[in-house]
């Protein structure tokens, strides 16, 4: 966890967890950070009750900008500059410098401001730091450890109820994204397993937050029991998707695309309209809706030549045939 503190995705999770019985230590353990960081985050926002992730993130961004302005002050304030220059050459750490500075000359400067100043304005001071390789990092876990925790929280497809496999009910979905030529854009797809009914949302930015919001909006009022996803990072807010849609979320095993065969095949149908390397930046949602409408109104052999729309929307009964 770097000295940039919490990111928006983590703050969104804190907003969700604020409504649960989780302790702040349990929350901190999920991120690999000290409990004091969670405590400070809630305190700055006025407490755990009513915590708003987006408002808290905006406030943190403002504080960071203020901190950068303060680091510039070290360039113009000769007393500050001379003090830090003297002590850093004695191999004092920025935290030790900041602590004694307040005692000796009555000026308070955060030690992280000193670190920022060194790396951005005085790289020649870096040899005096104990940690000389790369940027300063808190010793409270790494991105790799956080990634492992994320993986551990996923429900894998082998724990999914058997009823999903036999396609006897409506409301079991598979989800994925197809990527635009820009690599930052995409189309979010959800396919209902029994009927083959397709939902698709254009993503101008293929982020976890946009996937969460699009999914929540599109599933409002629709039957949904389970959603089985690919392992892309855009599904990292799966806990929020599950909370807002009421679905149990599962993940296929990495590189096992056949475990979501319905979704993979339907993505292939959608690629007829939006081929690989096509730039999605100029697409509109109504372009995607038109393609989806054509696909949902095509008869399917496995549905005895009914259409996904007839099975999912009109409720026509069908003895499901084999295949995807």
3-state secondary structure the chain: CECCCCCHHHHHHHHHHCCCCCCHHHHHHHHCCCHHHHHHHHHHCCCCCCCCHHHHHHHHHHHHHHHHHHHHHHHHCHHHHHHHHHHHCCCCCHHHHHHHHHHHHCCCCCHHHHHHHHHHHCHHHHHHCCCCCCCCECCCCCHHHHHHHHHHHCCEHHHCCHHHHHCCCCCEEEEEEEECCCCCCEEEEEEECCCCCEEEEEECCCCHHHHHHHHHHHCCCCCCCEEEECCCHHHCCHHHHHHHHCCEEEECCCCCHHHHHHHHHHHHHHHCCCCCCCCCCCCCHHHHHHHHHHHHCCCEHHHCCECHHHHHCCCCCCCCCCCC
Could you tell me if 189 and 178 are in contact, meaning their C-beta atoms sit under 8 angstroms apart? yes
pLDDT digit string, tens, across residues 257-291: 889 999 999 999 999 999 999 999 999 999 999 99
pLDDT digit string, tens, across residues 123-171: 888 888 876 544 444 444 455 666 676 777 789 999 999 999 999 999 9
Strands 248-251, 198-203: pairing is unpaired
| Confidence check: pLDDT of 191 > 90 | yes
| Confidence check: pLDDT of 71 > 60 | no
Q: Of the ranges 35-49, 112-126, 142-156, 207-221, which is most confident?
A: 207-221
Domain boundaries, the chain: 8-143, 154-312
Q: Which CATH architecture has domain 154-312?
A: 2-Layer Sandwich (3.30)
Residue 138: per-residue pLDDT? 47
Residue 29: per-residue pLDDT? 84
Residues in the chain: 324
User: Mean pLDDT over residues 245-251, rounded?
Assistant: 96
């Amino acid at each position: 966890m770097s000295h940039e503190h919490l990111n928006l995705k983590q703050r969104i999770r804190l907003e969700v967890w604020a409504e649960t019985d989780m302790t702040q230590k349990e929350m901190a353990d999920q991120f690999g950070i000290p409990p004091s960081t969670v405590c400070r985050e809630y305190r700055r926002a006025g407490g755990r009750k009513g915590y708003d992730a987006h408002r808290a993130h905006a406030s943190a961004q403002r504080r960071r900008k203020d901190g950068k302005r303060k680091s510039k002050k070290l360039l113009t304030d000769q007393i500050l500059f001379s003090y830090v220059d003297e002590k850093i050459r004695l191999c004092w750490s920025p935290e030790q410098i900041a602590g004694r500075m307040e005692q000796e000359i009555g000026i308070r400067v955060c030690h992280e401001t000193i670190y920022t100043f060194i790396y951005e304005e005085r790289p020649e001071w870096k040899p005096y730091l104990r940690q000389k390789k790369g940027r300063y990092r808190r010793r409270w876990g790494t991105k790799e450890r956080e990634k492992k925790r994320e993986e551990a929280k996923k429900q894998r497809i082998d724990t999914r109820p058997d009823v999903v496999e036999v396609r006897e009910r409506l409301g079991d979905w598979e989800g994925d994204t197809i990527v635009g030529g820009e690599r930052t854009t995409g189309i979010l797809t959800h396919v209902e397993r029994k009927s083959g009914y397709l939902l698709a949302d254009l993503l101008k930015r293929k982020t976890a937050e946009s996937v969460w919001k699009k999914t929540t909006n599109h599933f409002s009022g629709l039957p949904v029991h389970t959603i089985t996803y690919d392992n892309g990072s855009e599904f990292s807010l799966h806990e929020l998707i599950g909370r807002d849609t009421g679905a149990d979320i599962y993940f296929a095993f990495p590189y096992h695309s056949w475990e979501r065969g319905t979704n993979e095949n339907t993505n292939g149908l959608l690629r007829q309209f939006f081929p690989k390397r096509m730039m999605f930046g100029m697409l509109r949602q109504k372009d995607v809706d038109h393609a989806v409408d054509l696909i949902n109104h095509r008869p399917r052999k496995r549905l005895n030549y009914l259409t996904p729309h007839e099975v999912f929307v009109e409720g026509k009964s069908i003895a499901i045939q084999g295949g995807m």
